[in-house]
Amino acid sequence: MRRQLPPSEGLESPVVGSFTWPIRQSPPIPRYATREHDACVLICDEAGKGVRRPKATILLIDDEESVRTVFQVALERAGYRVLTAENGKLGLRLLEHQEVDLILVDIFMPDMDGLEVILRLRESRCASKMIAITGRSGMKNFLDIAKHLGAHDTLMKPFSVQELLDAVSAQLGQPDPASGS
């Protein structure tokens, strides 16, 4: 009779034939990890000296989950630390506890739109740079209003990942991450 291996903590052990193969359910997450800690920061913090730190911290406020995901992946691959919020209220609440270098904010969102976010941040003398974005056709005038209220730049969806990276690096005064310079 063959003996099955005991399941380890966090491992599931499905039986295949008479042998048990351990399969990890999910990667281990440090106890101190929160939604605000992304994998890049955790790795940098734990690895210590000699590890490349994120270039800057960016807050992305957009109500569309697919947009947040695409932008977050692109920005993290370019070396940025990215925090996300699904509406203006959550974005402002996050800024009470986190300092960021740049804020990407969608104009049209439920609860609190991007124009109100920009206005509140300017009233609070927020030093972070802001890029306003929208995907609604014919809404160029809202991007102009966002600039008038204090956004440093604007982007009209759809735009390429390269256009996003160019706008971000221009606002942060950094070389284009895609060029490797």
54 — pLDDT class (breaks 50, 70, 90) = confident
* The pLDDT of residue 158: 87
Strand order in the sheet with 57-61: 81-85, 57-61, 102-106, 129-134, 153-156
* The pLDDT of residue 2: 47
Evaluate whether residue 135 is within a structural domain: yes
> In whole numbers, what is the pLDDT of the chain averaged over residues?
75
Count of domains for the chain: 1
Across residues 41-65, what is the average pLDDT? 69
Evaluate whether residue 166 is within a structural domain: yes
Evaluate whether residue 99 is within a structural domain: yes
Which of the 8 DSSP states describes residue 180?
Answer: T
Full domain range(s) for residue 120: 53-171
* The pLDDT of residue 128: 86
Q: pTM of the predicted model, to two decimals?
A: 0.67
* The pLDDT of residue 141: 84
* The pLDDT of residue 157: 84
Evaluate whether residue 120 is within a structural domain: yes
139 — pLDDT class (breaks 50, 70, 90) = low
Evaluate whether residue 25 is within a structural domain: no
Evaluate whether residue 179 is within a structural domain: no
pLDDT tens digit sequence for 81-111: 999 999 999 999 999 999 999 999 999 998 8
CATH of the domain at 70: 3.40.50.2300
Evaluate whether residue 10 is within a structural domain: no
Higher pLDDT: 108 or 44? It is 108
Evaluate whether residue 3 is within a structural domain: no
The dihedral sign for the CA sequence 80, 83, 84, 87: negative
